[in-house]
Structure 1
């Protein structure tokens, strides 16, 4: 779900960087896509996708299942997840689709799930797709701000806990679905849970997405045997956008990308040999690496601040580790 309201851009394009996030941007970029990149047989490869019961996650799960991959759907709602699984299996004729019920905003649940998963499963690719944007400051049962708990801490814990399994696999990859909204944000380690000032859900979400990009870069530097990437799907017509940003959706509906278009680069990063040849740690849009900062923007932070982020997340995550 893009943090659209945080982007001050009336023509839906970041001036000076040539990125268009809506439908026309995808259509222009797709003219240069190599169709053969996605002509792959994924039989024998295992993929975990968070938030896989709808939107970009479901579209990604469908594309991977269509190519014979084993799909592990990590979802919060069992009923919706089972219904999505049934559709994916029916369409792909692939029975290797599995549902795991996990609330990504619950740190203890994420730890327990990941620790149990690695004991009996192989994993080649983790796709961190689940996202949350609540517009009022809301705390989880564990006392964490919900956007941060889902988008940042949940992603951090799941990835960290699954790294041992990924490091044992062939061609291991981690793909994290970020957002162009993060381009408006400078990393703020001093207020990770938005406790200071007036709460703005859109800005909190964009800050979380900046955090995900920083994590991707730092993990890539630390774990050389796993390929990491983050990406922006563009502005896609998903249930999350419809529910969290109804006015934006109503205004822009005809210009939004389809779910499949939004998922295209996720799938490409997860399965294409060409993607694995890219340097680890980059940020992608429409199958190409793009800058993580706008021209002349004051959004860059020091390596010390990034290290502070990792240390803060590590300390917080350990508090909930079983």
Structure 2
């Protein structure tokens, strides 16, 4: 089954996830849809905003006059990214917060402090992520890919929900990946505490894809529980970003010339943060190139039951609970 999934995924990817796929899809975009959007007075957070897709999101939101909060891990690169956003957009209302998403205590502390100093939040773009190809544990004994991609996103989102609900049009956008199409939700052991997937040797690519499936399920479940907030997961396509070059060097080399630009990869996340048509779509959808996209490949047997999804969410709440901080 995994061979079929991988083959079906790669075939679909070459057709839809490349630069050529984006350019074909872009013919259907309405060029005037975002033309008159003005985000003056809107407050947005973008995680992983110092490079690649996150930096592109920050620039486009700043260009539309939003108050942009860039959550980054590295102080020097974060400040350089902030300066580039201000220089390119002339928007001075751009701020940096240093947070390591792989450390849930840091994430929770940031959210508590942010909530104490800001009256509301209009949009959260969960872009930060990693693909570590060896099994490494964080300070709390959690596998680093899961801690960053899944638990970090979970703590960030759930902690900021009260602030988001104070906005008249709150949005949460999760930058997932089409790689999740190859994975069925592992509800029994989402943090991979007891085994690697399918009892194989640790494979960072598979773990990352499982994390991205987890993000899509979280997005669905959050949408059901919080209908006043619009939740969307999205696939940026195969984009030429520093993260891809570092984590998947052979894929990056093989696909040179066919990868999307970072701007093309960021386009749907930016559109989700801006479009006035968002409520025309089903809450909790998965998007590719400004359109809802299937969450499963045909015949791939990656669907999970509602009971499994609920079990997964209970586990996430249990894992997050020790790190929760009261809102100041």
Specify if TM > 0.5.
yes
1:213-242 per-residue CA deviation (whole Å, 9 max, x = no partner) reads: 000000101101100000000000000001
Of residues 273, 280, 285, the one that matches 2:283 is 280
The answer for unaligned runs of 5 or more in structure 2 is none
1:65-98 Cα shifts (integer Å, max 9, x gaps):
1111110000011110000000000000000100
Q: Is the contact between residue 14 and residue 20 of structure 1 (CA under 8 Å) also seen in structure 2? A: yes
Aligned match for 1:23, one of 16, 19, 32: 19
Aligned partner of 1:235 in structure 2 is: 238
User: How do residues 82-161 of structure 1 correspond to structure 2 at under 5 angstroms?
Assistant: 82-121=79-118, 122-161=120-159
TM-score, normalised to structure 2's length?
0.93
Q: Secondary structure at the match of 2:300?
A: coil
Q: What is aligned with 2:203?
A: 200
What's the counterpart of residue 268 of structure 1? 271
What's 2:58 paired with? 61
Matched, 1:36 2:32: yes
What SS does the aligned partner of 2:232 have? strand
2:298 matched to 1:295? yes
Further displaced range: 252-261 or 270-279: 270-279
Kept in 2: contact 1:227–1:276 (CA 8 A) = yes
- Give 2:221's aligned residue: 218
Cα offset, 1:320, TM superposition: 1.9
Structure 1: gaps of 5 or more residues:
none
Of 241, 245, 249, 2:248 maps to: 245
Question: Does the aligned pair in 2 maintain the 1:49–1:129 contact within 8 Å?
Answer: yes
Contact 2:5/2:297 (<8 A) preserved? no
Task: Determine if contact 1:7/1:181 at 8 Å carries over to the other structure.
Answer: no
CA deviation digits over 1:14-53, x for unaligned, max 9? 29xx961101100000001011222211111011000000
1:7 Cα deviation (Å)? 6.5
Shift of residue 12, structure 1, vs aligned partner: 4.1
Q: CA deviation at 1:115?
A: 1.0
Q: Give 1:253 deviation, angstroms.
A: 1.3
Give the TM-score, by structure 1 length. 0.95
Gap change, CA 1:239 and 1:76, over 3 Å in 2: same
**Aligned to 2:319, which of 311, 316, 319?**
316
Shift of 1:137: 0.4
Residue 173 of structure 2 corresponds to residue 170 of structure 1? no
Q: Give the RMSD, CA atoms, in angstroms.
A: 1.7
Cα distance change, pair 157–19 in 1 and its aligned pair in 2 (3 A)? farther
Q: Do 1:13 and 1:21's aligned partners in 2 also have CA atoms closer than 8 Å?
A: no
Deviation at 1:277, TM superposition (A): 2.5
Contact 2:5/2:300 (<8 A) preserved: no
In 1, the alpha carbon distance for the partners of 2:70 and 2:12 equals 34
Q: For the residues of structure 1 that align with 2:126 and 2:9, how far apart are their CA atoms? A: 30
Indicate the SS of the match to 1:264. Answer: helix
